[in-house]
Amino acid sequence: MIAPANAPPRLTAESLTRSFEGRRVVDDVSFSVPAGQVACLLGPSGCGKSTTLRLIAGVDMQDSGRILVDGKLVCDTTFRVPPERRAIGLMFQDFALFPHLSVAENVAFGLTGGYAANRARVDELLERVRMTAHLGSYPHALSGGEQQRIALARALAPRPRIMLMDEPFSGLDERLRDGIRDETLALMKEEGTAVLLVTHEPEEAMRMADQILLMRDGRIVQQGAPYNLYNAPADREAAAFFSDINVLRGRVQGALTDTPFGEFLTPGVPDGTEVEIVIRPQHLKIDFDRAGMGPAATPENGTAAHASVVRSRFLGRESLVEFVTDEGGIALNANVPGVFLPPAGTRMWLMLRRDRVFVFPR
Ligand SMILES: Nc1ncnc2c1ncn2[C@@H]1O[C@H](COP(=O)(O)OP(=O)(O)OP(=O)(O)O)[C@@H](O)[C@H]1O
């Protein structure tokens, strides 16, 4: 189902703020989710993700700000549509099935259609979550992961306009998780559901989200497509949230910062400012030493710096090699695909891919 181009976003949060005991746990949070899109609230434990979700679900109320669904006000500080009338599906960590109802009855619970339509919907969803064989079972006879899949089917059954999910796939083992996650998302997209999903796992957010809302200390520090957050992080911490990082330090002089890897452009940063030059370990380039000679400087990779291997480790798909540079004694890690395990003390040359470097004032 594709929303008309001029349709208002399915879900809009405007300047939501919520404090507990004088501390702003959700601080001026704004975002919107169009129909059929997935937004992931991503951030470390305690940053306010679940509280944001609870405000939108209507089980908690913001101190200020507004929530709109399809452009219509659902909640501000004086007006509040109760949770059960928001057409919002919930899938929280502490979900509970009705113990006295069978699997099929649990999934059918929120359905209002006739018997045949309800039965078809239950069958469709049980197939999606691969639980058709357990149709007549009762919750106590199911594993934790199976119960979770039924809870997911139950939440999706009434075709909610918005689906709020708090780490909904965390209890599933990895192989099952990928399949169910992708199929659930495909179903919600087909039905035009806007999904707001809470996770603290960057890989999960990257895999699922159309839009990532990166949260820290109650605020959204950056929002955008996964590609943009990964390749143009707002600050050092945002960069570090998605992978290990290497950090070089320097001081700006004449809009340039000098390092053992050559000069980096730092336009608009005042002289004397300390900056951090950040690069992910997979974006270091390594070259062999030829009797003390290294590769020539290039615009793509800057100047090569001479370095020694400190330690090499095999990680499965890739190898991690730790270096220290001759000049400045800078510790740098490089990820190399496959098996590459040079012994400690090996002399090599390192370069930083200039298009993959981020420069942040400290
Ligand atoms: N009802 C409450 N009373 C007091 N403090 C609360 C309440 N609810 C949440 N908090 C506090 O607000 C902060 C944010 O909590 P929240 O559950 O939103 O974080 P989170 O990002 O979802 O974390 P996690 O990933 O661990 O679930 C925490 O420090 C928490 O202790």
One-letter amino acid of 91: M
The CATH homologous superfamily to which domain 11-240 belongs is: P-loop containing nucleotide triphosphate hydrolases (3.40.50.300)
> How confident is the model at residue 362, as a pLDDT?
87
**Confidence check on the interface: ipTM exceeds 0.90, yes or no:** yes
Residue 323 has pLDDT above 90, yes or no: yes
Listing from the earlier edge strand, what are the strands of the sheet with 64-69?
23-33, 11-20, 64-69, 72-75
Q: Residues 276, 281, 283, 286: is their CA dihedral positive or negative?
A: positive
Query: Among 49, 198, 221, which is best to mutate for testing ligand 1, by the most ligand atoms less than 8 A from CB?
Result: 49
The per-residue DSSP string of 348-361 comes to EEEEE-GGG-EEEE
Sequence-separated (6 or more) residues with CB below 8 Å from residue 356: 279, 280, 283
Q: Three-state SS for 75?
A: strand
Q: What's the pLDDT band for 1 if we cut at 50, 70, 90?
A: low
Q: What's the pLDDT band for 173 if we cut at 50, 70, 90?
A: confident
> How confident is the model at residue 110, as a pLDDT?
85
Residue 3 has pLDDT above 80, yes or no: no
Between the CA of 263 and the centroid of ligand 1 the distance, in Å, is 44
Alpha carbons 72 and 358: distance in angstroms, whole number: 41
Residue 188 has pLDDT above 90, yes or no: no
Instruction: Map out the domains of the chain as residue ranges.
Output: 11-240, 244-361
Pair of tokens at residue 263: 């000069």
Between the CA of 50 and the centroid of ligand 1 the distance, in Å, is 7
Helices 174-190/144-156 angle, 10° precision: 0
* Main-chain dihedrals φ then ψ at residue 192, nearest 5 degrees: 75, 20
> How confident is the model at residue 183, as a pLDDT?
79
Residue 180 has pLDDT above 80, yes or no: no
Of 307, 338, 333, 306, residue with least CA distance to 320: 333
Q: What share of the chain is helix, strand, coil (3-state, %, to 5)?
A: 25, 35, 40
Average confidence (pLDDT) over 99-107: 94
> How confident is the model at residue 315, as a pLDDT?
94
Residue 319, ligand 1, Cβ within 6 A: no
Alpha carbon nearest to ligand 1 atom 5, residue = 20
Alpha carbon nearest to ligand 1 atom 18, residue = 48
Pair of tokens at residue 282: 């997979």
CATH code: domain 244-361 is 2.40.50.140
Average confidence (pLDDT) over 82-88: 86
Between the CA of 168 and the centroid of ligand 1 the distance, in Å, is 18
Residue 48, ligand 1, Cβ within 6 A: yes
Pair of tokens at residue 228: 């943009």
Between the CA of 13 and the centroid of ligand 1 the distance, in Å, is 19
Residue 45, ligand 1, Cβ within 6 A: yes
Q: What's the pLDDT band for 2 if we cut at 50, 70, 90?
A: low
Residue 233, ligand 1, Cβ within 6 A: no
Average confidence (pLDDT) over 258-271: 90
Is 244-361 the same fold as 11-240?
no
Sequence-separated (6 or more) residues with CB below 8 Å from residue 24: 17, 18, 218
